Amino acid sequence: MSLNVFVTGGASGIGYGIAEYLAKDGHHIVVADINPTAAKSAAQQLTDAGYSAQAVDVDVCNAEQVAALPSRLGGTKVDVLVNNAGVQHVARIEDFPAEKWQQLINIMLVGPALLTQTFLPDMRSRNFGRIINIGSIHSLVASPFKSAYVAAKHGLLGFAKTVALETGDCNVTINTLCPAYVKTPLVEKQIAAQAKENNLTEEQVVNEIMLQPMPKKAFISVEELGATAQFLISEHARNITGQTMVLDGGWVAR
Ligand SMILES: NC(=O)c1ccc[n+]([C@@H]2O[C@H](COP(=O)([O-])OP(=O)(O)OC[C@H]3O[C@@H](n4cnc5c(N)ncnc54)[C@H](O)[C@@H]3O)[C@@H](O)[C@H]2O)c1
């Protein structure tokens, strides 16, 4: 069955990786991103490869823009919502700009709530929907200098559990994928920022900070996330809801 999959932050990194994986599986992709040029070129890249895709620009924390999405998408009903858009800011709490703290919470916690509010009624009326949040290993553990990110990602788990209870009466599920580090533009920026913050080389940040807590000592790939999403949107995953799927190379087994 071909589903319409709406991926926020779909123009880059994990969002694009999941979009491409599910496009290859025959689903129609809506690449939604705050960067309109990047969204268009990501959708174009998918259609050039012979897959089905369209682009829409949206700031996930702008309530009016999010509420307008169903009419802007025309006839495309959203079956699968992937709440993926995210940003990072690395600073000790004493130096963390208040507006940055607010922005991270807005993008990674308020945004998923607004998008769920927007698409859930139609999913409910058609008795099918899958919501996949992209959390993080930082939904489960903390790292220094990431207070806003860690708070937003922990919050996402509570949000998913609550919506899972509220959607028990229909074939809608909501789950959160929690990867450890994935080599994307977001992480490339963090490597540089952490090197500066900790006075280390970028290679030291990768080996001594990022991969250090992972017994598998490897970055998680976007294909691993795509394949997990593929399972979660299947009919066989209809009773998996409110769950946290951790792809962490064994990080939290310690
Ligand atoms: N890369 C990792 O190691 C890693 C690990 C765990 C979780 N995550 C999470 O995965 C998600 C994607 O991260 P990534 O590494 O692919 O990042 P990325 O920087 O490559 O991509 C993020 C995308 O989100 C878009 N975006 C940012 N703010 C937006 C907004 N307000 N509205 C709409 N789109 C917006 C950006 O334009 C960009 O295209 C994030 O939620 C991140 O927290 C990443």
Domain ranges of the chain: 4-181+220-253
Residues 138 and 151: their CA atoms lie apart, in Å, by: 8
Letter for the amino acid at 83?
N
Query: What per-residue confidence (pLDDT) applies to 100?
Result: 98
Instruction: State the closest ligand 1 atom to the C-alpha of 85, by its place in the atom list counted from 1.
Output: 24
If you take atom 8 of ligand 1, which residue's CA is the nearest one? Answer: 136
Query: What per-residue confidence (pLDDT) applies to 132?
Result: 99
Residues 166 and 117: their CA atoms lie apart, in Å, by: 12
Q: Which residue has the tokens 């924390």?
A: 61
185 alpha carbon to ligand 1 midpoint, in Å?
A: 9
pLDDT in tens, the chain (254 residues): 899 999 999 999 999 999 999 999 999 999 999 999 999 999 999 999 999 999 999 999 999 999 999 999 988 999 999 999 999 998 999 999 999 999 999 999 999 999 999 999 999 999 999 999 999 999 999 999 999 999 999 999 999 999 999 999 999 999 999 999 999 988 998 899 889 988 999 999 999 999 999 999 999 999 999 999 999 999 999 999 999 999 999 999 98
Q: Which residue, 170, 251, 249, is CA-closest to 213?
A: 251
Query: What per-residue confidence (pLDDT) applies to 167?
Result: 98
State the SS3 of the chain: CCCEEEEECCCCHHHHHHHHHHHHCCCEEEEEECCHHHHHHHHHHHHHCCCCEEEEECCCCCHHHHHCHHHHCCCCCCCEEEECCCCCCCCCHHHCCHHHHHHHHHHHHHHHHHHHHHHHHHHHHHCCEEEEEECCHHHCCCCCCCHHHHHHHHHHHHHHHHHHHHCCCCCEEEEEEEECCCCCHHHHHHHHHHHHHHCCCHHHHHHHHHCCCCCCCCCCCHHHHHHHHHHHCCHHHCCCCCCEEEECCCHHHC
13 alpha carbon to ligand 1 midpoint, in Å?
A: 7
Letter for the amino acid at 186?
L
- Active-site residues, by number, are 149
List the CATH code of the domain at 4-181+220-253: 3.40.50.720
169 alpha carbon to ligand 1 midpoint, in Å?
A: 31
Instruction: State the closest ligand 1 atom to the C-alpha of 220, by its place in the atom list counted from 1.
Output: 3
134 alpha carbon to ligand 1 midpoint, in Å?
A: 9
Dihedral angle of Cα 190, 200, 215, 82, to the nearest 10 degrees: 0
Contact (Cβ atoms closer than 8 angstroms) between residue 135 and residue 153:
yes
CB atoms within 10 A of CB 225: 24
Instruction: State the closest ligand 1 atom to the C-alpha of 185, by its place in the atom list counted from 1.
Output: 20
Exposed, middle or buried: residue 235 (CB in 10 Å: 0-12, 13-18, 19+)?
Answer: exposed
82 alpha carbon to ligand 1 midpoint, in Å?
A: 12
Instruction: State the closest ligand 1 atom to the C-alpha of 106, by its place in the atom list counted from 1.
Output: 31
If you take atom 41 of ligand 1, which residue's CA is the nearest one? Answer: 86
User: Which residues line the pocket of ligand 1, CB cutoff 6 A?
Assistant: 8-9, 11-15, 33-35, 38, 58-61, 84-87, 107-108, 134, 136, 179, 181-182, 184-187
In a mutational test of the pocket of ligand 1, which residue from 7, 8, 12 has the highest number of ligand atoms less than 8 Å from its CB?
A: 12
- Is the Cα dihedral 229, 235, 239, 242 positive or negative? positive
Contact (Cβ atoms closer than 8 angstroms) between residue 55 and residue 15:
no
